[in-house]
Amino acid sequence: MNIDNIIDKIELAYDHYLRQGSEIMFNTFTDHFFDKLDSMPSCKLILEDLESQHKIDQKVFEERIISEFFYDRDFFVSDEQYYVSYCYQYYKFLRNRQRTQGNYLNPYFKEVIWTDKSVNEEGDRMKLYKTDYVRPLVNYIIDHLKDESLILHCLLRYKSRVERFKTIQDLDLTESIIQKDLALYLFDNGVEFSKEDDTCNGRLDFRISDASEHYGAILKCNNKPFVVETKLMKKVTIGLIRKSIVQLKAYMNQMSSYGCLVVFASDDNVNDIVNSIKDDITIIPIYLGKTLPSKMH
């Protein structure tokens, strides 16, 4: 799944959440929305990083302290990242309290102090929670996903280079050769990377630094590295790709990084097979065969 698909998936989930108007089911719908975000590896990593950068003492939530801030707009204007982190951690605090105290708990929007200073109607407070409390969090995630898309744009240009100009198709290819070709491309485009770093799960192919610059844009992923796993497949199968995804996810979890899988193949069905795989990991197929695009199935 590419970044645009993930963003569309987030927006669709948020739109569905926004249209839910039940106060009784408010917490359930909110929990379901956050579970959707948590099910996407890239989103989960962004939220974990956000929380680690601005860890807030639980006493702040237990005693309902909002420091020098009183209204949500004061929070947001002063420090957007802190505000978003505060909202996310306070939500987690309330959800955990709901679990430990049983099924009954006030709707989350009634627990947010500053909303009761803004409006009186319950329906308005419900909407305010979704638009002023949850939406900034959604925007934060999407902005960081777009940072990741800069790296993917660089890799997609490499894909276009190989497929359009047949730069390596006539070689007796091995994984070592394709990795060297990709390494040269990254180097020529100012992308800083290390190659074949040792991990307890094996040797990852590429680890792209957030200090890189590509066409004037800084490549960054929330100040985390980006790992690229390359595979050369004579015959592309869903099983082989899934096995490669498992390996990539192990690297990503160990290094707390983002990443994608690049599959080199002469198999005419590589694009169809990759598109059939439903996973939040981005897969970039690079076709090495001789069939014209108009003739491929």
pLDDT tens, residue by residue, 185-210 = 998 888 888 887 777 777 889 998 76
Assess if residue 149 is contained within a domain: no
Assess if residue 158 is contained within a domain: no
Are residue 125 and residue 180 in the same domain, yes or no? no
Are residue 130 and residue 214 in the same domain, yes or no? no
Q: What are phi and psi of 142, to 5 degrees?
A: -65, -40
Are residue 173 and residue 44 in the same domain, yes or no? no
Pick left, alpha or beta for residue 3 (phi over 0 → left; psi -120 to 50 → alpha; otherwise beta). Answer: alpha
pLDDT tens, residue by residue, 211-232 = 555 444 445 566 678 899 999 9
Q: How many domains does the chain have?
A: 2
Task: Give, in order, the Cα–Cα distances in Å from 43 to each of 34, 47, 186, 229, 257.
Answer: 10, 6, 26, 20, 12
Are the beta carbons of 187 and 41 closer than 8 angstroms?
no
Mean pLDDT, range 140-156, rounded to an integer? 82
Are residue 174 and residue 280 in the same domain, yes or no? yes
- The gap between the terminal CA atoms of the chain, to the nearest Å, is 20
pLDDT at 196: 73
Are residue 133 and residue 199 in the same domain, yes or no? no
Burial of 293 (0-12, 13-18, 19+ CB in 10 A): exposed
Are residue 82 and residue 176 in the same domain, yes or no? no
Assess if residue 244 is contained within a domain: yes
Q: How many residues does the chain have?
A: 297
Assess if residue 113 is contained within a domain: yes
Assess if residue 159 is contained within a domain: no
Q: CA-based angle 96:97:102, to the nearest 5? A: 105
Out of 82, 112, 144, pick the residue that ends a domain: 144
Domain ranges, residue 26: 3-144
Lowest-confidence region among 75-79, 142-146, 241-245, 289-293: 75-79
Are residue 140 and residue 201 in the same domain, yes or no? no
Question: Measured between alpha carbons, how far is 130 from 221 in angstroms, rounded to an integer?
Answer: 26
Are residue 40 and residue 106 in the same domain, yes or no? yes
pLDDT at 217: 45
Are residue 252 and residue 136 in the same domain, yes or no? no
Are residue 123 and residue 216 in the same domain, yes or no? no
